[in-house]
């Protein structure tokens, strides 16, 4: 697999008026089929395509609402068509369709808003619910290093570690500093690869179970134009794209994992639609953020999952990504004669 970075995921070339194509093909990560790409790739590309058509740098992304219309495949690039739905002094709204060979795989509405004035907080409400209390990232090892340490200390089998690195390698490359808070379900079950491991949340209702990951942006995220390649126009856009990708991670199998079922229990675990919102000023590349992941309801082979992003230090709720997913049960294998 080629090296994964926000640059490699998001890079575009212009093919016409408000039309773009991805420089690279989207990649596989944790899907049941190796031919299907990770959905976060199309989400990032849609945001970058929309951003290329917004000229006002005083506006920043506050909302991305989208639907997955079909699988994104790993064997071809993604084409994107942007429509300008609204352009006012306060808002810019773009509608993006991502497709491959004429087949739509994602549609998204990307909304920008003008920066708020500092005086506004003195007049209108400015508050947040409180962040969960988990181990601070300064007391944790990077995820790859922490898993390797557990193997060396005999607390984790080498086989499970190898499976984890193979399945989730792209996200470890994208944010090598990521740290799994030990209080979370996925930290204790290795993203459900060790699904039967005892956890500190086994006594909780399924809807109360949570997983936690600390993230900070990689030190370099290219912005602007390099030759004919288009990256995020601003650092704020790049950071918004990064955290959309990260918040989307594992949503498809959160309900499965928090139920302590192995990933193989589902024949399909895919996103149906999503709502990504930034609840304040632009996200900052240099800051640490805590991702909190929980499944609120599961029924009729569908789930509703909430991913919250908490700002380290202030404890404010900085962003959310809510998602509806399909979770189809795997067919039982026929007994061998």
Tokens of 117: 């004035």
Please check whether residue 313 lies inside any domain of the structure: yes
* Residue 2: per-residue pLDDT: 66
CATH number where 194 lies: 2.40.160.210
User: Containing domain of residue 97, as a range?
Assistant: 6-116+137-329
* pLDDT tens for each residue of 36-66: 998 999 999 999 999 999 999 899 999 999 9
The predicted structure's pLDDT at residue 337: 52
Q: With contact defined as beta carbons under 8 Å apart, do 154 and 160 qualify? A: no
- pLDDT over 70, % of the chain: 97
pLDDT for 335 equals 58
What is the per-residue pLDDT across 250-267, written as a single tens digit (0 to 9) for each? Answer: 999 999 999 999 888 888
pLDDT digits (tens, 9 = 90+) for 9-24: 999 999 999 999 999 9
In a domain, 1, yes or no: no
Q: Residue 333 has what pLDDT?
A: 65
Instruction: Give the pLDDT band of residue 322 (cuts 50, 70, 90).
Output: very high
State yes or no: pLDDT of 168 exceeds 80.
yes
In a domain, 334, yes or no: no
Inside any domain, residue 91: yes
pLDDT, tens only, 105-163: 999 999 999 988 878 778 888 899 999 999 999 999 999 999 999 999 999 999 999 99
Buried b (16+ CB within 10 A) or exposed e, 100-126: beeeebbbbbbbbbeeeeeeeeeeeee
Beta bridge partners of 22: 12
Do 234 and 217 meet the contact criterion of CB atoms below 8 Å apart? no
- Is 176 contained in some domain? yes
Model pLDDT, residue 71: 93
Tell whether 257 is covered by a domain.
yes
Q: How far apart are CA 237 and CA 50, in angstroms?
A: 10
Mean pLDDT computed over 179-199? 96
Q: Count up the domains in the chain and report the number.
A: 1
Q: What is the pLDDT of residues 265-290, one digit of tens each?
A: 888 888 999 999 999 999 999 999 99
Asked whether residue 259 is assigned to any structural domain, the reply reads: yes
């Amino acid at each position: 697999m080629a090296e994964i970075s926000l640059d490699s995921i998001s890079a575009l070339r212009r093919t016409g008026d408000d039309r773009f194509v991805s420089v690279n093909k989207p990649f596989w990560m944790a899907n049941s089929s190796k031919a299907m790409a990770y959905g976060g790739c199309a989400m990032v590309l849609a945001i970058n395509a929309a951003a290329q058509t917004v000229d006002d740098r005083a506006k920043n992304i506050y909302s991305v609402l989208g639907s997955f219309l079909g699988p994104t495949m790993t064997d071809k690039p993604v084409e994107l068509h942007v429509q300008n739905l609204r352009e006012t002094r306060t808002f810019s709204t773009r509608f993006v369709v991502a497709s491959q060979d004429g087949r739509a795989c994602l549609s998204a509405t990307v909304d920008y808003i003008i920066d708020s004035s500092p005086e506004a907080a003195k007049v209108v409400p400015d508050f947040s619910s409180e962040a969960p209390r988990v181990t601070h990232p300064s007391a944790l090892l990077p995820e790859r290093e922490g898993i390797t340490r557990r193997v060396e200390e005999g607390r984790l089998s080498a086989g499970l570690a190898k499976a984890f690195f193979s399945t989730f390698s792209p996200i470890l490359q994208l944010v090598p500093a990521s740290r799994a808070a030990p209080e979370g379900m996925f930290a204790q079950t290795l993203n459900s690869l060790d699904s039967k491991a005892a956890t500190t949340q086994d006594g909780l209702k399924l809807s109360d179970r949570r997983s936690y990951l600390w993230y900070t942006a990689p030190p370099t995220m290219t912005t602007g134009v390099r030759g004919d390649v288009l990256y995020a126009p601003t650092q704020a856009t790049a950071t918004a794209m990064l955290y959309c990708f990260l918040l989307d991670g594992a949503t498809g199998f959160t309900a499965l994992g928090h139920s302590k079922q192995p990933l193989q229990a589902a024949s399909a675990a895919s996103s149906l639609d999503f709502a990504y919102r930034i609840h304040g000023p632009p996200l900052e590349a240099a800051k640490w953020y805590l991702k909190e992941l929980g499944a609120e309801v599961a029924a009729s082979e569908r789930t509703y999952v909430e991913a919250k992003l908490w700002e380290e230090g202030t404890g404010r709720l900085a962003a959310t990504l809510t998602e509806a997913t399909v979770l189809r049960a795997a067919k039982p294998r026929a007994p061998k004669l």
